Amino acid sequence: MRFLPLIYPTAADWLACRQKRVLLFGMSGLGKTHVASMLRGAGDWFHYSVDYRIGTRYMGELIADNFKREAMKVPLLRELLMSDSVCISSNITFDNLAPLSTYLGKPGDADQGGLPIADYRKRQEQHRVAEVSALLDTPHFIERARQIYDYPHFVCDSGGSICEVVTPENPEDPVMASLARNLLLVWIEGSEAHTAELVRRFDRAPKPMYYQPEFLAAAWDSYLAETGATEATVNPDAFVRWTYARALAHRQPRYAAMARHWGVKVRADDIARVTDVAGFEALIADALERG
């Protein structure tokens, strides 16, 4: 059951529309940013990155202050900062979100780069608030892209954690309703093979990520009970590795509910074969035909 009509009721409506607007969502690593960048490179698509908006507008000051806090531990840099002789800022880009990830951090042993769990939860909440705000900014950027830059088409590249900050089964969810009224929501659905590859990739280079508060609380308690570790002795990388596959399994039904009630879905294998705008438009048309 759809909670709102799709803004493109049929494939013909989508193909005929001269102002196409889509939001891509799904697990990180399945092609959202790649496709959005391809569309942007075509010249007439505005690319709105939710993670970039979070890391600049809503958490930019927090990120920079964290850098400064670390720099103040170095006597030379402390002296230069106190005299306003140097400027420390985040150089976040669409393709490099490391400053945001670094700030989010991982919980555990401070000597291994971990954060106290209370500080970690605080940063998680800051990210949740920022992500909701950045998603609600999407209609503003649709209008801005058209009025200021004269872009006819718009693609919103959402973060992998979008499903954690909305309630897709709620027909009155304010974020989902705002997005669905303004864009076609498209789930890039991965297979079990994709999930296995993402887990292998994450195991090689574990990265910070956002978790729904209830999920994090349960995962943290279970990890401590299973390993016998304490907050101060948890290996931060070991914890996020242990949590990652569980987080993906937690997210999958939430993504599915978003597509079922608010949008459409395409397969990650199909999106990977898209090389130009025509191919993307045809893929979305097929998704609309399937309903």
DSSP 8-state assignment for residue 190: -
How far is Cα of residue 175 from the mean position of the Cα atoms in its chain?
14
Per-residue pLDDT at 71 exceeds 90: no
262 pLDDT tier (thresholds 50, 70, 90): very high
Torsion angle in degrees (nearest 10) through CA of 87, 93, 99, 102: -170
Measured CA to CA in angstroms, residue 195 lies from 67, 106, 138 at distances of 33, 22, 29
Domain segments of the chain: what residues? Answer: 11-290
**Phi and psi (nearest 5°) for 235?**
-75, 115
- Reading the block at residue 243, the tokens are 């949590």
The predicted pLDDT at position 188 comes to: 98
Q: Which tens digit of pLDDT belongs to each residue from 82-140?
A: 888 888 888 888 778 889 999 999 999 999 999 999 999 999 999 999 999 999 999 99
- The chain-wide mean pLDDT, for the chain, equals 95
Q: What is the pLDDT of residue 287?
A: 97
CA separation, residue 9 to residues 24, 97, 131, 186, 199 (Å): 18, 35, 28, 14, 36
> What pTM, to 2 d.p., does this model score?
0.94
How crowded is residue 260: how many other Cβ atoms within 10 Å of its Cβ? 17
Dist. CA 264–CA 266, nearest whole Å: 7
Q: Which of 43, 45, 30 is nearest to 186 (CA)?
A: 30
The answer to whether 142 and 149 have CB atoms below 8 angstroms apart is no
| pLDDT score recorded for residue 268 | 96
Q: What are the φ/ψ torsions at residue 9 (nearest 5 degrees)? A: -60, -30
- The verdict on domain 11-290 having CATH code 3.40.50.300 is yes
Which pLDDT value is given to residue 88? 85
Quick one: pLDDT at residue 171? 97
What's the confidence (pLDDT) of residue 84?
Answer: 86
Please count the residues of the chain.
291
Give the model's pLDDT for residue 2: 94
The closest alpha carbon to 179, from 158, 199, 160, belongs to 158
Give the per-residue pLDDT at 273. 94
